[in-house]
Every structure is written in C-alpha cells, then in structure tokens.
Structure 1
Amino acid sequence: MCAIAGIFDLYQQADIDPALLQRMTDIQQHRGPDQRGLHREPGVGLGHRRLSIIDLSGGQQPLFNEDHSVVVVYNGEIYNFPALMRELQQFGHIFRTQCDTEVIVHAWEQWGTRCVEHFRGMFAFALWDRRQRSLFLARDRLGVKPLHYAVLDNGHLIFASEIKALLAHDQLRRDLDPLAIEDYFAYGYIPEPRSVFRQIRKLEPGHTLLVRHGSAPGQPRRYWDVPFQRHSIISPEHAADELITRLREAVRIRMVAEVSLGAFLSGGVDSSAVVAMMAQTSDAPVNTCSIAFDDAGFDESPYAHIVAERYRTSHHTERVQQHDASLVDTLVNLYDEPFADSSALPTYRVCQLARKRVTVALSGDGGDENLAGYRRYRWHLHEERMRALLPLGLRKPVFSALGKLYPKADWAPRPLRAKSTLEALARDSVAAYFHGVSIMKDEMREQLFSSSLKRDLGEYRAIDVLRRHAATCPADDPLSQVQYLDLKTYLPGDILTKVDRASMAHGLEVRVPLLDHKLVEWISGLPPDLKLQGGVGKYLFKQALTPYLPGDLLYRQKMGFSVPLADWFRGPLKARLQASLASPVLAGCDMFNLGYIQQLLHQHQSGRRDHSAPLWSLMMFESFLRQLLKEPGHSAERQAA
C-alpha cells in the first residue's frame, strides 16, 4: 500500500517546485515508509511513497512504459495482474517487472480510459501521458482507496491520497464548505464528492477523471455501478454453494504477498468467515488478531477465540482501554476532516496490534452492506410495509402529529421507541431512511446551527446526498434500495475511510475480500429474501457458513465494533467533553448555537437523554477546528470569516 501526490499545470508548462512536490509526498510517509519516488517534467510532477508488498525489488514508482511517455503513481493492489500481464503480452507489450503497477501503464496504452474496467482490486492512481498531454485519475469501484484533488486559482490541479498533502500547498484556500458541515452533522462523516474544504473534492468510487492540458477539468465519469440485476431462478442450496465458492476465490487472490500476512478476527460473522476461508487456503497457521474490552457488553473476543481455536490460528489478543482520550486529537490528524465514528478508536488499536506481526491483513468489511446485516434494514422493511398501506398525503399529517405528541425514549428497546417509528411513517422511503441513519435529526441541526451558517446553507439539506443516489438506483425493491444507498455513502465515507486511515497510520495494508467487485455484483443479484428472511440478516451467508462456523456465533445478536460512548461521557471522558464544548474555538467560529450545545450536554449527563453521538461529533469538530487554526497563516478571526 502506498501514497500518491502530484501537481498538474493545466495551462502552462512551467517547472514544478521540487520542494513543494517532495513536501506533499513526504507528509504521507506513514502510508509508504519503505521508499520515495518523484518525477518532474515541464507542467507536471508526480510523487509516491511505497509500502512494499509485491515485487519488493522491482516495483519502485513512479513507473514508466518502455519509452517513458506514460508514467503512473498508484496506491492499491490489482489482484488479477498475472492474467492481465499475459493478455497484454499477447498484444506485444513488454514487461520489465513482476508487479501489478506495470500492468496499469500497458493497460492504458492498450485500452485508454477503459483500462480500469479490466482491473480487479482496490486502487487509486494518477497516470500522465506525455503524447496526449493528459492526466488520468482513477479510483476503484467500491472506494477502498482514497483520492482527493483540488483545482487552484493559479491553474494547478493537485491531487493526493490524503487531504493533509493538499494542505501542504500554500495556494490552497482553507475556507470550509458549509454544505459539508451540514452533511457531517447529519451523517457523522462527509460523503463523496465533498470534503470539509470548499476547494477540495473526493473522486467518487467507480469514477475516473481525465484532464487535458490547455482545458479546465470536466466532470468525473462513472465507469461502474452495483448492478442489482436479478439472477435467473436459483435454488437456495445452489446459491449457498456458489457464495462459498466465490468467497473462497476472493480470499485466495488476496493472499498473494511477499511479506507477512494475517487477518482481523473480531468474532463477528464476516471476519470469522474470511478467516475460515484463509485457513483452508493456507498451509501455515493464519495470523489473527483481535481487541478485548473490559466492558462485556462490547467485548467479542471470546467468540474470536472460538474461531481461532477451531482453525488453529496464530492468535493474538490485546486488551485496550477504550476511553483513551489521548487518541481524540490523533484521530483528527489521521482523518484530516471531522469524522464522528467512535469505533475509529478500537480500529486504530487493532491496526496497531496487527502491524506488530504482519504487513498485510484481511478484514470482513462490507458484509453488512452486501448481505443485509444491519438491524436498520429490518426496521426499514417493517416501516415500508406500513407505509404501503396509506398514501403519503394521508400519512404525513397524521403521523407527524402523533410523532410530536409521543415522548422520546432513548433508554427503551427499539420496539418501544414509537416516536422514531411514527416520525418515519410520516416520511417517504428515502426521507425515512435518512431520518434513521442521521446522528443529528433535522430539528436538532436546525437548533444547533447559527443563523449565519443556515444562511450559507440556503436550500441545501443533507438528505440531498441520498436523493441523488436514489435517483440512479437500479434496484426496485426496498431492501436493495437502502443497501444501494449505504454502498454509495456509508461504506466508502465511513467504514472504508475509517479502516484506510487507521491502517495506513501504522503502515498496514488491509484487503477486503467481501468487497471483491465480482462478488458484490453476484450478491446484488440474489433475491432480497435470501439476504434478509424472517428477521435474520445475512440469511443465505449464515446458511452457507454452517459447515464452517458454530451456530452460536452465526446466530447470536449482532454486537458491532462499537464503544460505550454514553457511559464514557458521564464518566472518564466527562471533563474532556465539557472542555471541548466550552472551547473558545467553537464560540469563535460563529457556526453554532452555544446554548443548545450546553442543553445537549446537560440532558445527556443528567441521564435523561442519550446524546452521545451528537456530542462526540461536536467534540471531534472542535478538535478539527483547533488543529486547523494551528496551521501557519491561520487565526480565529480568519477561520470565522
């Protein structure tokens, strides 16, 4: 795994500042601690930091074609590169290395912008073609690897794996995007293509951007989407066998490495399934690692041990202190923008543990989105059946009124939280799902934001993100539609971002077999009732895994990789939270209603409400602002402006 960075002069062919290019590249050294490579020519500069995984001696980047007219910097792994190499050799292409990077330059020569359609893996790369005077940026289909870019006022297009590298360019404006702030406090992360900075964009998963010298960048082009094309008649038994066969292949091709390799083993279904497939493929014991917590309600390590013993893995467990306040500012440095998923804390620690023993780790990420594992899918389908009984015109006034009258009961089991259900029934399907996944509901953000921030937002609302994706959704059933929304937003914006930054902070490469695009395509075509049946999520997956994993593990209540935030904020993190929310940084930015923030704090610490997610999002935003203001040339007054 690696980091890339670069500068492209859109209109001139002036020399690229070598010190600037080196600074943008080296600020990402944690992603590629083994080697650095730079290439400059008039009007373009490319930088690369390498974490050596395959062809340790011959895969240095930037990497060129035979006559040096095409050069690439690349972050990722293309798992089908041996087959592609053989295919390209039949077209007459000559290879000098045995690494997957060289496949990219020859695939570009052979297929042009459609080269990405031939790649199977995770990747983000930038390719410069001197003859065509063009820069080609590409990101993998599901968004496992990140790519950020910005067009500056001086005519430069800059790009990098992480935002911090773009911030090294003194021509980049640091003004924040109010629309991204609205998104952040709704979702807990900032969905693609926005970033917290108005000038910086994220290249969306499954997209490319072709930029030609002498013209302004156009719009990114989508080259792939989750198809949700229903399979022809398939029996559950045949589907279960096919699923295991496809999963086993996805795991096998991700076990190719010239360095130590292992897996995360949380004790959940997905990571356990990956380890089971690895154990059948490997002659040596699989290296596995897990995190243990003191709070039994959040500790899955006993289940991880059951799987480790069954497959005789070389297993390592580390007990961590969950409420490690020192990690808060560390996380902000990693993510470069506000990020409110509190499971980033244990994710950071498990990556730290894994890196002590391996350089590559396989994970079970993506199973919940693919196979309908989230509990919210079950509730959404219940509500959809009720919404189907009455048209929206009748539902909206009746259930809106009932929702306002019913008391809020955060402490109660989900079936007794009728207020949320009533509010959902008053909405259309997309609005109801948005209401369910929001960490701050519409009415909360309305009270939180200052009048100046609301004025900057105008008519924009965070639900527009989901509506944009819903408009292009190829599925026609309610379950597939919300899965599609998560695959487009929550998966890349939260889950994959969390794991990428946490793992790369330790120079660890994480591979995700459940997000193999061929596997994702096949799973998307399964009937919805094979994914969610009788209230059981991942129904087919669990049936298929019955020979490999114990029933107690497969059918236990989903726990998730979460932390007890509500209790922390009333205990060990209480003082830190109070200090953050009383910070002059929040007061000086003129974005928030400070009285409402204190109201949230008092309601939570009194035990009357659970505001842990909104409070965590505010705490992380305050830390982000505080660190941003430390940059040269910044002041509280400038940030407020």
Structure 2
Amino acid sequence: MCGIAGYVGISAFWGEPVLHRMADAQVHRGPDGEGYLAEGLIGLAHRRLAVIDRDGGKQPLHSADGRYVLVYNGEVYNYRQLRAELSDLGHRFTTESDTEVVLTAWIQWGRAAFDRFNGMFALAIADLERGEVVLARDQFGIKPLYLADDGDGRVFFASELRPLFVTGAIAPKPDDRTVYRYLRFRIHDDTARTFFHGVTRLMPGETAVLTSDGGIQRSTYTSLYADMDALAAVPAPYDRAAQGRFRAALDRAIQARLVSDVPVGTALSGGLDSSAVVASIHRMMATTAAADDTRSVGTTQQSFSAVFPGERNDEERYVDTVAATCAEALQVHKVRPTPDRFLVDLRDFIRTQEEPVISTAPYAQYCVMREASQHVTVMLDGQGADELLAGYLPYYLVHLRGLRGGRVAGEAFRSIDVLWRLGRTRLTDTLGRRRRVPTVNLLGRDFAETYRNERFPMVRNDIKARLATDLFRHSLPALLRYEDRNSMRFSVEGRLPFLDTALVRTVWSLDSSAIIHHGWNKRALRDATVDLLPRLVHQRRNKIGFTTPEDSWFQRIKNDVYLIFASRSFGARPYFDQRAVLQAFEDHVAGRGGVETMTFWRMLNVELWLREFIDTPPASEAGGWGPVEPARVAIQRVAGSDTDQSADPQVLPKPDFVPNPEKELLTPGGAWARFPLHTDLIATGDDVSALAVNRVGEFYKQGAEMPLSVQQLATAGPWYLFVSEKVVAVAQGRIFNVTDIRSGAWARLLSRYVLRTPYGVGLGHPATMQLAVQEVGLPRVLAAAAAGAVGKAVGRRGLFYRVAGSAVRAIDGPTEYSAYPANVSAKLAPRDPDRVAQEISSAIRAALPAEFAERFAGTVIIDANDFGQDILGQDADLPDAVLVEAFADNPLGQAREQTPFAVVVAQAQTGVAVQSGGQRVGHTGG
C-alpha cells in the first residue's frame, strides 16, 4: 500500500521539486520509503508502505528494457497465479513482490491485464518511448486516483487531493454542483467530479492515457459490469450446491487477503459482515491446512472495535459475544470515541478526508484505525457486503417492489419488523406534530435556484440492478474513500474480502433469493456462517456498523456547532440561508424540529471544509499533521475564532500596561489614561466585587515597578474603575444558551427586521428578541418597533431603543468574537447596576492602600463596544456624558482581549490625549 503522484508536461529540471512536494504531502501513505522518476516531460513519485517483499518491490519499478516505469498503490491478491502464468510465457522475475507481476502483466497483455487483477489498485505506467502515462483504477475503485490539468498542457495525478494543490499549478476552488448534490441529496463520489472544481477522480474500472500535449483519454477497461448483467439474466437456483460455492468463494477471498509480511488484524463492529470475517479467520487458524495462510495473523487474532456505552447504537454486546466464541485466540481492542475527543480530532479528521463526508460515522472508523496502527499494519473488514448482499433496510422496499403476485404479501409480512423501523421516524414526527423541513429550505436562495433541476434517480424495483449501481456509483464509492483515508492517515492498509471479483460474480450468478428471502437479507452469508457465529449475531436484523451516536453528540456539542452556524463566514457563503439554519438548529436542539442531525452535519462539514481547503489553501510544503490541540481551542480554530486565549498555553494574557490592539482614545473634552485589565473568564456565581479588588490591587502593585512615566500616568489624577455590564450579567446568571430559549412567533418575526452588525446581533436573533419581550412586554416592544420604523422613514435613528429602554438596549446576542460561552448565548442587562457599582466601590475603598483609595472616584458599569456606549449604572462624580467619552472606541468584556475591567485615570488639560497604556497621541481639541 502506497501513495503515488506524478505529472505529464514538465521538464525534469522543474519537475523534480514538484514531485518531492507531492510525495511529502502524502507521506502518511508510505512512511517506509520513497522513489522518483523525472525524465523528459514525465514525472513519477512514490511513497511506500512495505507489506509484501519488504526488501524488494521498491518503486518506481523499471522494466528490463527501461521503456516502462510503474508506480503502484494497492495489492493484487492473485499475483502468485499470474506470476506462474507469466513465467510459463517466458518472463523472469527478480523480486517476490506483486509490483513486478503488475508491470510484467502490462507488458504482456496491455490494458487487458487490468481485468486479470483480483485486488485493489491505482497505478501509473509511464511509456518513456511514447512519452505518455497510463493510469488505471481497480474495478471497485477501492484505491483512489485523482487528476487535474492546469490549462497549459500539464496534467497532474495523485492518490490524494492535497498533492495536486501543493504543486502550485492547481488552485483549490469549490465545485458548486457537487456541493449542492451533497447538501441536497446526501450523495457524493458518484461521478468523476470532486468537491474541487476542475479536479476529477478516475472512476472504478477506468483507465486514462495522459499524453505530452496535455490530452486525457478516458475509457472503461473492465468486463465485470457486463459479466454481472449477463449472469443476472440467467441465474442459477440458490440450492445447497450454490451455498457451497458462495462459502468457498468467501473463504478464498479472505485467505488471499491474509498474505502479508507484516501483522494483519481485523475490524469488528459486531455486525454480521465483520463478524463473519473474524470468525472465518478464527476457523482457518484452527485448521492445520490453513496454517500458512494465517501466519500473518499470529497465534492471536488482533481485532478492533468502536463502542459507545449507554448509547442506542452501541454494539459492544455483539462484539463481546463474537469474542467469547473465539476465546483466547482473539484479542479485542476497544476504542470509545466521545464528542469531546471528536472536537479535538475534528480539524485533523476534516483534513484526512479532504472532502466532506455523509455523517460523523466515519469518525468511529478513524478512531479504530488510529488504535489499530499501534498493533498491526494491515486490517481486514466487512466493507462492501451491504451493497453486495442488501444490508441496508431500504433494500427491502426495492425487493418488495420487484416481486409479482402473492409473493409480495408473504415477503412483506415476514419483513414487518424491518418495515416498521423504516417508517417509525416519519410516524413519530407526525404524531409529535414535528414539521419536517426540506433541506432545500435551508440553502441559499440563488444557490438552490441555480441547481434546482438536479436530480438523483435510483433504481426502485430491481434488487440486483439497484445493488450494482450502489456498488459502483451511489453508495460504496463514498465508503471506500472514507476507508482509504482513515486507514492511510495512520499508515494502515485496509483490505476488503467482500470486494472480490470472483465472489461478486458468484453472487450475481445466483437467483436473487440468495440476497433476500423470506424477510432475511444477506441470506447466502447467513447460510455460510450458521456454524461459525453465535445466534445473537447471526440472527441480527438491525444495521448499525461503525457509526457514532450522532444525535446525542450534537446535543453535547451544540454550543460549538451553533458558533459555526452563527459565524460571519457561514453567513457569507452562498450555499446557506443562515437565518433558516439557525432557527432549524435551535428547534432541533429543543426537540421540536424536523431536521436530521445528518443534515446539520453536512452543512457544518461544508463550512469547515471550505475554511480548511478553500479559505486557507494547503501550503506548498504540506505534509504531516501537527500535535493534538485541546478540545475547545481546536473547535475555535476550526471555527475561525481565537477567543479562548486562556485555554492555549502559547497565548499569553495581555499585560495591564499595554493597550488593547489598535484602540486609541481621542476625546475633545480632555485626556484620559486607560488601562484595560485582563482576567480569566467570569462565570455565573462569581463575585465580581472580589475579582475587581484583586485585579486592581495587582495593577497598582505592578505599577510601582513600571517606569516613572507610566507610574505618573497611573497616579496623576482621580481614577475610576470601568466594568463591563456583560460580566456583571454573567455573574448574576442572566445569560442563556440560545438553544434553550424558546422563541415565540412575534420574536421570530420582529428579529427579521433588525440589522446585524459585525459587533453583535443585538435583537437580530429570535432568542434575543424573545428576551426583550420577556423583559419589558410585547406591547412596549411593538411600540418601539413602530417608533423605529417611523424614525427610519424620517431619517432619525435610535428611536427603537429610546422607547424600549436601556434594559432592552443592553441585551446581547451571540457574537463570533466573544469568548465561550458568550459566543453561543444571549444575555440580559445586569440587575440593579447602580447597586453593583456601589458594592464594587465599597470593596475597593476597604481593600486598597490609602494612597490609591483616596484618589478612587467611583465605579462605572458600562455597555461599551465599537458600535456605541451606554452607562447602565455608576457611583462616580462625573456625568454620564463625560464618562462615555472614556470608551469612545474601546470595548470592554469577554471578547478576544478578555478585558472586562479597566482603570481609567483622569489627566490634566495638557493639549494632548493619552493612548491607553501611557502612549501620547495627537489631540484634536481643548
């Protein structure tokens, strides 16, 4: 297993650095070695994960005459048979690797060789004599291969997408049609298009010839699809002999995938498919005749599972039951993914997959592969069996529609439990009066209109035809991408016994009753394992697999998800209707919505993918992953926020005598020295007076050690303590998660007409408008709205808040720049701010040394941001109008600077203003 890359159309001098960058960008695919070819206008790069013939098999591999050069990613399991056949034809081999067999087969049979390979592969063969490169991908598309041209006659290809972008010739841009189909139909990887505009994938069973003039000639090489159609047309009856043929084909497929010079393990979800693989290997290990086949497994089979204790989709009891049948010959390694660890891994997971994924389910597999990499290099699992043998519940409907006569009623009766599971969600929504919201209603209007004619038709009444489309187009290709990226991220080779050409042909040669019969799917597999698996697993009819408990996880991480949906970048995308998404998510969290978590995940995934690959394109020196970050820091960085500085040990708090960045104070009525004080986050229940005393005391203690000029500024005149009204409200518990506020119809309606600004949503959110209604009553809010509308008509601003009052003006909504939890919360004005100011002042006068306390002139509770200032309470000796000037341009609160307190010192009328932190700046007035 490896990573390959290359180009056609660049001279060797310029091409070699490009090849190294492309290889480095996928070093995780091949940490055991590297190799390069740059000759003429052709370049090839290879990163090797050594699995077979670790000493031989180095690539690029040259033919004996030097004309052909191969780079190859994958395994051909029937290479020994092909080697014997080629030897009989006169070819000689110098290594024990399948790589040499692949190249020799190409030399002997040309493109017809590809259909002789039973395995997984993506390869590039350079014909140095003709100056062209042939690409090919296995019949199922297990191994990926991407290509793109730069429009100037150069074509690039690689096992992953990032290597294409680090060339510097291909710019990552979103493919809007693919994004739409993903958001609207929950589909991707079904065509040659990718999520990146102009970048395509080689399709399963496809070959492409790249010529030196930039040409790309694609064609399908395989006869597998035609063979399946022919076999389905004249199927054999599913009888005892057919059962034997299926079981023999499955055993051969598993045995072939155990060939390895490195340790081999298995994935065990607890479902029928993976359990069948584990149990089959266990039986082989106990058979003397199969000893050579299972040597790579060792004396104890290493298996890996993801479990979710206490969750509905937990399969631990099935895993344990399978393990009990194997006793000491099986060691099960369990990973327990959690939503908190998901936040830690989220950015890496997004980068690993390179394109959006259908749900959070692949993350469970990601965790399994990470654990497996500590023990084995090769992993077998049951991927592909669902598409081969109708493992998903909707296949029952396809099966029923394809029946004729009285068989329909009988089959439907035997499938009643499955049909109930299919329909209960819709029934629950109906009984609970939950309105299902179509996904298209959450999309940007122009975006949805542009692609409104897109369709996703499916075969509805022919089970084999439906399975064939899902095997090669609609379902499995996406799962294979997840498998490839998750395994190779941790330098593990994944092998899939059910995706064996001989096994597929065997299934298609049989009557469809081998697939579904009498209400049981996967009939052939159940028959083949009746003596291997415990009844609890063998008789399972519920499909789960490697998934996550997404519903409960989204409740756990709802604040983090909301932060992203409420962000400015999400709102600026053409793909989403931000207001509709936020409302739908709030309804969902409150249990009254009709939108699935998978829908929210797709929107979330697109946004994070855009931030990772489009907003910040991969650097040219890309490669490798950095250290794991703390969960909250990780999600904020993914979300484009750097608010929680206290959680990141690399970010130091702002010194008390340094101003907030780019915040200068210019006041025409006088001069002030202003010192914003950094604090840790203030939470509900904290004693604001005690915190203020502590920080002010530290400030004056530090000031005694500062240069004389700073000491003079800090002590030159009367001083005041300005306190953010936000932290007072937070400490009083007057802050609420927006998803916990049930917004009424009036609140939802009125909030639509409120302008959101970069400094906050104000009442432009249904949750904050609902708080306003609860604070002062709906009549007053309606009167204020009417006054505001009249004011706009005559050019007067601010009438809304004059009528609504300061309590409404001080209501804040979630803002992207605020620190957690303010970024996902709504907040009321503090209760009795004058009394709070008096309490803080009394505490300061009682605690500070006399020389400082004597000049203390009072506390000011202020709502100050870049949009305006409003004094809510104070016990100072100056009018509000004068005090407001002290914060004409400098917000207080728990935003990026986390400065909810500020010492403000009144200066003499010197003709200059003083910048916070003690620096002098030009003054514009008296």
TM range (shorter): 0.7 to 0.9
Match of 1:210 in 2: 209
Deviations 1:570-589, CA, capped at 9 Å, x for gaps: 2x111111012112222222
CA distance in 1, matches of 2:388, 2:619: 45
Which amino acid letter does the alignment assign opposite residue 599 of structure 2? Answer: P
Q: Which moved more, 1:504-513 or 1:450-459?
A: 450-459
Match of 2:112 in 1: 114
**Which of 254, 259, 265 is residue 256 of structure 1 equivalent to?**
259
Q: How has the CA–CA distance of structure 1 residues 293 and 220 changed in structure 2, closer, same or farther, with 3 Å as cutoff? A: same
Q: How has the CA–CA distance of structure 1 residues 631 and 415 changed in structure 2, closer, same or farther, with 3 Å as cutoff? A: closer
Match of 1:332 in 2: 350
**Which of 145, 150, 153 is residue 152 of structure 1 equivalent to?**
150
Q: CA deviation at 1:348?
A: 0.6
Aligned length: 580
Match of 1:2 in 2: 2
CA distance in 2, matches of 1:179, 1:225: 30
Q: How has the CA–CA distance of structure 1 residues 421 and 203 changed in structure 2, closer, same or farther, with 3 Å as cutoff? A: farther
Match of 2:598 in 1: 613
Q: How has the CA–CA distance of structure 1 residues 296 and 191 changed in structure 2, closer, same or farther, with 3 Å as cutoff? A: same
Match of 1:281 in 2: 284
Match of 1:631 in 2: 617
CA distance in 2, matches of 1:215, 1:38: 21
Q: How has the CA–CA distance of structure 1 residues 306 and 258 changed in structure 2, closer, same or farther, with 3 Å as cutoff? A: same
CA distance in 1, matches of 2:505, 2:386: 15
Q: CA deviation at 1:491?
A: 4.0
1:532 equivalent to 2:516? Answer: yes
Deviations 1:172-220, CA, capped at 9 Å, x for gaps: 1322111111221122534231101111001011111122334621233
Deviations 1:122-149, CA, capped at 9 Å, x for gaps: 0000110112322110001111111110
Deviations 1:220-257, CA, capped at 9 Å, x for gaps: 33424441413554342222221111111101111110
1:414 equivalent to 2:422? Answer: yes
1:321 equivalent to 2:315? Answer: no
Deviations 1:95-115, CA, capped at 9 Å, x for gaps: 221101111221111111211
1:243 equivalent to 2:229? Answer: no
CA distance in 2, matches of 1:269, 1:99: 33
Q: CA deviation at 1:37?
A: 0.7
CA distance in 1, matches of 2:104, 2:389: 36
1:310 equivalent to 2:325? Answer: yes
Which amino acid letter does the alignment assign opposite residue 210 of structure 2? Answer: V
Q: CA deviation at 1:15?
A: 4.1
Preserved contact between residue 261 and residue 359 of structure 1 (Cα < 8 Å) = yes
Which amino acid letter does the alignment assign opposite residue 372 of structure 2? Answer: A
Deviations 1:1-55, CA, capped at 9 Å, x for gaps: 110010111xx75644211110011110111111011111010110000000001
**Which of 499, 505, 513 is residue 515 of structure 1 equivalent to?**
499
CA distance in 2, matches of 1:121, 1:318: 29
CA distance in 2, matches of 1:500, 1:14: 31
Preserved contact between residue 55 and residue 258 of structure 1 (Cα < 8 Å) = yes
SS of the aligned residue for 2:216 comes to coil
CA distance in 1, matches of 2:281, 2:108: 35
Match of 2:22 in 1: 24
Q: How has the CA–CA distance of structure 1 residues 271 and 342 changed in structure 2, closer, same or farther, with 3 Å as cutoff? A: same
Preserved contact between residue 12 and residue 43 of structure 2 (Cα < 8 Å) = no
Preserved contact between residue 111 and residue 221 of structure 2 (Cα < 8 Å) = no
Match of 2:309 in 1: 294
**Which of 537, 541, 545 is residue 557 of structure 1 equivalent to?**
541
Which amino acid letter does the alignment assign opposite residue 622 of structure 1? Answer: E
Preserved contact between residue 154 and residue 171 of structure 1 (Cα < 8 Å) = no
Preserved contact between residue 272 and residue 537 of structure 2 (Cα < 8 Å) = yes
CA distance in 2, matches of 1:585, 1:161: 31
Q: CA deviation at 1:280?
A: 2.6
CA distance in 1, matches of 2:452, 2:426: 32
Which amino acid letter does the alignment assign opposite residue 3 of structure 2? Answer: A
Q: How has the CA–CA distance of structure 1 residues 311 and 601 changed in structure 2, closer, same or farther, with 3 Å as cutoff? A: same
CA distance in 2, matches of 1:254, 1:117: 18
Q: How has the CA–CA distance of structure 1 residues 632 and 421 changed in structure 2, closer, same or farther, with 3 Å as cutoff? A: closer
Preserved contact between residue 79 and residue 98 of structure 2 (Cα < 8 Å) = yes
Which amino acid letter does the alignment assign opposite residue 114 of structure 2? Answer: V
Q: CA deviation at 1:488?
A: 2.0
Which amino acid letter does the alignment assign opposite residue 241 of structure 1? Answer: G
CA distance in 1, matches of 2:45, 2:428: 50
CA distance in 2, matches of 1:222, 1:462: 28
Preserved contact between residue 294 and residue 319 of structure 1 (Cα < 8 Å) = no
SS of the aligned residue for 2:218 comes to coil
Q: Which moved more, 1:573-582 or 1:313-322?
A: 313-322
Q: How has the CA–CA distance of structure 1 residues 53 and 529 changed in structure 2, closer, same or farther, with 3 Å as cutoff? A: same
Match of 1:78 in 2: 76
Deviations 1:326-381, CA, capped at 9 Å, x for gaps: 22222110111222331111101111111111111111111111111111111333
Which amino acid letter does the alignment assign opposite residue 606 of structure 1? Answer: A
Deviations 1:546-596, CA, capped at 9 Å, x for gaps: 1111222111232412222122222x1111110121122222222221122
SS of the aligned residue for 2:203 comes to coil
**Which of 444, 449, 466 is residue 443 of structure 2 equivalent to?**
449
CA distance in 1, matches of 2:562, 2:427: 29
Which amino acid letter does the alignment assign opposite residue 527 of structure 2? Answer: Q
Query: Taking structure 2 as the reference length, what is the TM-score of the superposition?
Result: 0.60
Match of 2:384 in 1: 366
Q: How has the CA–CA distance of structure 1 residues 215 and 633 changed in structure 2, closer, same or farther, with 3 Å as cutoff? A: closer
Q: CA deviation at 1:153?
A: 1.3
1:347 equivalent to 2:381? Answer: no
Q: How has the CA–CA distance of structure 1 residues 141 and 130 changed in structure 2, closer, same or farther, with 3 Å as cutoff? A: same
Q: CA deviation at 1:68?
A: 1.6
CA distance in 2, matches of 1:413, 1:246: 33
> 1:372-387 to 2 correspondence within 5 Å?
372-382=390-400
Q: CA deviation at 1:281?
A: 2.4
Match of 1:196 in 2: 195
Which amino acid letter does the alignment assign opposite residue 3 of structure 1? Answer: G
Match of 2:809 in 1: none
CA distance in 1, matches of 2:391, 2:500: 17
CA distance in 1, matches of 2:350, 2:127: 36
Deviations 1:586-608, CA, capped at 9 Å, x for gaps: 22222221122123212211212
Q: How has the CA–CA distance of structure 1 residues 334 and 416 changed in structure 2, closer, same or farther, with 3 Å as cutoff? A: closer
Preserved contact between residue 78 and residue 123 of structure 1 (Cα < 8 Å) = yes
Preserved contact between residue 4 and residue 23 of structure 2 (Cα < 8 Å) = yes
SS of the aligned residue for 1:172 comes to coil
CA distance in 2, matches of 1:48, 1:331: 24
Q: Structure 1, unaligned stretches of length 5 or more? A: 389-411, 423-440, 471-475, 635-641
Sequence identity of aligned pairs in percent?
A: 29
Query: Taking structure 1 as the reference length, what is the TM-score of the superposition?
Result: 0.85
Match of 1:601 in 2: 585
